[in-house]
Amino acid sequence: MRSIFIRQLSDEGILSETERLRLEAQSSSKLFSLHWELKTMLYLGVLLLSGGLGTLIYKNIDTIGHQAILAAIGALCAGCFWYANKHKPPFSWQKTESPNPWWDYVVLLGCLLFISFIGYLQAQYNVFGMRYGMAAFIPMLVLFICAYYFDHIGILSLAITAFAAWLGISITPMHILSDNYFGLERRLIDTGLLVGLVLTAAGAFSEYKKKKPHFAFTYYNFALHVFCIAALAGMIIEDGLLLLYTPALIAGLVFYYLLGVRIRSFYFLLMTVLYGYIGAGYLVIYTLIQAWDSLETGVLYLSIIYLIGSSILMARILIRLNRKLKAHADL
């Protein structure tokens, strides 16, 4: 609109040609893209639609009927997959572009509806019985297939989450699941470490074998958080196993720090510094408490001094790392 107004002023002789060009240049320099804002709104729309359908079903379950609900969910899911398959680009192990702006969201909606279909089937008809691992394995398998077949990173994130749930359910003893007790169970911590290692291996395979190499970042991202959180939980909960979980945390931090340096990702550097800060802080405070045998005033003061000093040091390290990455990017 502004460019049209400027041209009208120029045609009427109010603006000279030089002034018109200058104003049009200023106008074009202030333009910005709404790409990510629109994509965010579309993703939220898909999530709100799936959540709204769930609420509608929950409030009208007695009048609609279970078979009708399953049939509606199945029909919508099948329609989404039909549309996605009809318009999908040819399969490639490299990154492919979406055929239109709506395609990604139709694929995502289809996968969310499929998860709802399986979950509703299990909750209402108990088709898998007590085999909870199978109820998690089937959605996980379908999500991984869809992620690679449709080249969709969002579905890959859902598949990784389903994989962690399936592995946790499969390894966890049934008495913990039946009693809903997930407290100080070391088996769950070790499962988290295993999930982190498997996802790290999957990311390395994708990157070095050139099999959807753009998926590697997503694998690494989940692996970093799951592995480090599990190692920190092992350090805090299992005091007697500090010599086991502390080296595991250090090894994971070193690996992902070097990965962040290699791919020039400030995000990975930030996360490794934060997790390292949490682990080091716990070790320092734990050592002080053990030295005094209790949380005395001296321990409290030393802990506060350490936290203040280490926070300043961490901020300086992050600023330096950011400058270093920017300097490499400008080369």
Residue ranges covered by each domain of the chain: 43-171, 184-331
How many other β-carbons are positioned within 10 Å of the β-carbon of residue 233? Answer: 17
How many other β-carbons are positioned within 10 Å of the β-carbon of residue 313? Answer: 11
Q: Write the DSSP assignment of 134-199 as a string of letters.
A: HHHHHHHHHHHHHHHHTT-HHHHHHHHHHHHHHHHHHHS-HHHHHHT--SS-HHHHHHHHHHHHHH
Distance between CA atoms of residues 294 and 311, nearest Å: 24
Q: Which helix (H) or strand (E) holds 237?
A: helix 216-237
Distance between CA atoms of residues 227 and 218, nearest Å: 14
Closest CA to 108 of 55, 146, 162: 146
Question: Angle at the Cα of 329 (from 327 to 331), degrees rounded to 5?
Answer: 75
- What's the pTM? 0.79
Q: What is the pLDDT of residue 255?
A: 96
Q: Which one-letter amino acid corresponds to residue 22?
A: R
Question: Angle at the Cα of 163 (from 77 to 221), degrees rounded to 5?
Answer: 105
- One digit per residue, pLDDT tens: the chain, 331 residues? 555 544 554 554 444 555 555 555 555 544 555 556 666 776 677 677 767 766 766 666 666 677 777 888 889 899 999 999 999 999 999 998 888 878 888 898 899 889 888 887 887 778 887 777 788 899 999 999 999 999 999 899 999 999 988 887 666 555 455 555 545 467 788 888 999 999 999 999 999 999 999 999 999 999 999 999 999 988 888 766 778 899 999 999 999 999 998 888 889 988 999 999 999 988 888 887 777 665 566 667 777 888 888 888 888 888 887 777 776 555 5
98 phi, psi to nearest 5 deg: -70, 140
